[in-house]
């Protein structure tokens, strides 16, 4: 069993929900990425999504695009992202790392070479935004040969048949996009999300994380009541963007600790679900 499944299994036993922060590797500087990863763990993160910068992040909003541009301006490549993960892994053997990005940098490296290098670096899951299930059967099996979970998105517009199609390939968890739009958009509709989660759980058999539009502790708490994991991305990037390099880790720690406490306060006791 991989680190992601172990983590969700442990949390379920404790009656807690996962906190999954997202930051972009190399933003604002590659030297800050490992310290930020450490900070995310200290704040109580269960899984970390690490964005791989790409020149054309079509599914992201302006906040994450700016983070990508800052990282690319520092020359951050997919290989460097993997070496940052490897550095983090020398001191943290338990926190799962999920890479999130776009297909082209991976294809430029070669799918098999990437899967092997990611496994060596200590990557636990990979979410490729522009690889829907119908285009990624080979990619998903390459990842699974290297014991890496292929993570997939589902959206409010996904049909039941597609939910099942994703369920057939996905492991680790499923990332449910809570609204129509791009990352960092308006706040989400908790009731609408709540209605979909049971259908997804029933058809896929893996935990469901919810993201896009979670900007504060109250929304995080509301999502924690209905989903297995809460993903916070653009709001964290904004915090990093508005901080000096010296203060970034402290500010992220404060913000994320507040969200962690709200999630724990909201999560129902074990077995209640």
Pairwise CA distance, residues 248 & 24, whole Å: 14
Q: Across the chain, which distance is largest between two alpha carbons, in Å? A: 48
Query: Would you say 2 or 181 has its CB closer to other proteins?
Result: 181
Using DSSP, state whether 204 is helix, strand or coil. helix
Pairwise CA distance, residues 63 & 42, whole Å: 24
If we measure between CA atoms, which residue out of 43, 12, 85 comes closest to residue 270?
12
What would the x/- binding string for other proteins be over residues 191 to 230, using CB under 8 A? ----------------------------------------
CB contact at 8 A, 187 and 174: no
Pick from 14, 112, 135, 160 the residue near other proteins by CB under 8 A.
Answer: 135
Is 92 one of the binding residues for other proteins (CB under 8 A)? no
Residue in this structure with the two tokens 């989400």, named with its chain if needed:
188
Among 1-9, 11-19, 66-74, 244-252, which window interacts with other proteins (CB under 8 A)? 66-74
Pick from 96, 105, 213, 233 the residue near other proteins by CB under 8 A.
Answer: 105
Is 62 one of the binding residues for other proteins (CB under 8 A)? yes
Residue in this structure with the two tokens 């098999």, named with its chain if needed:
112
CB contact at 8 A, 149 and 125: yes
Query: Would you say 65 or 234 has its CB closer to other proteins?
Result: 65
If we measure between CA atoms, which residue out of 52, 38, 2, 22 comes closest to residue 184?
22
Pick from 142, 153, 266, 267 the residue near other proteins by CB under 8 A.
Answer: 153
Tokens of 39: 């900070």
Report in angstroms how near the CB of residue 243 gets to other proteins at its nearest: 22
Is 61 one of the binding residues for other proteins (CB under 8 A)? yes
Footprint on this chain of other proteins (rule: CB under 8 A): 54-59, 61-62, 65-66, 69, 72, 77-79, 102-109, 129-132, 134-135, 152-155, 157-159, 162, 166, 177, 180-182, 185
């Amino acid at each position: 069993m991989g680190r992601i499944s172990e983590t969700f299994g442990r949390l379920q036993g404790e009656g807690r929900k996962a906190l999954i922060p997202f930051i972009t590797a190399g933003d604002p500087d590659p030297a800050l990425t490992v310290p930020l990863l450490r900070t995310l763990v200290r704040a109580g993160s269960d899984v970390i999504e690490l964005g791989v910068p790409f020149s054309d992040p079509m599914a992201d909003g302006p906040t994450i695009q700016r983070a990508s541009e800052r990282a690319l301006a520092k020359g951050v490549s997919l290989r460097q992202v993997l070496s940052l993960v490897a550095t983090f892994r020398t001191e943290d053997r338990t926190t799962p790392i999920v890479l999130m990005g776009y297909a082209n940098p991976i294809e430029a490296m070669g799918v098999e070479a990437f899967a092997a290098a990611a496994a060596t670096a200590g990557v636990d899951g990979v979410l490729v935004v522009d690889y829907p299930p119908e285009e990624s059967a080979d990619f998903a099996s390459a990842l699974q040969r290297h014991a890496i979970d292929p993570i997939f998105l589902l959206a409010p517009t996904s049909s039941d048949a597609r939910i099942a199609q994703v369920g057939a390939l996905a492991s680790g968890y499923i990332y449910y996009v809570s609204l129509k739009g791009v990352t960092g958009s308006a706040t989400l509709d908790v009731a609408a999300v709540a209605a979909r989660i049971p259908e997804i759980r029933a058809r896929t058999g893996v935990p469901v994380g919810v993201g896009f539009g979670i900007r504060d502790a109250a929304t995080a708490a509301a999502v924690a009541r209905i989903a297995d994991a809460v993903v916070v991305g653009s709001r964290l990037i904004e915090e990093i963007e508005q901080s000096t390099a010296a203060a970034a880790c402290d500010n992220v720690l404060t913000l994320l600790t507040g969200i962690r406490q709200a999630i724990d306060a909201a999560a129902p006791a074990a077995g209640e679900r």
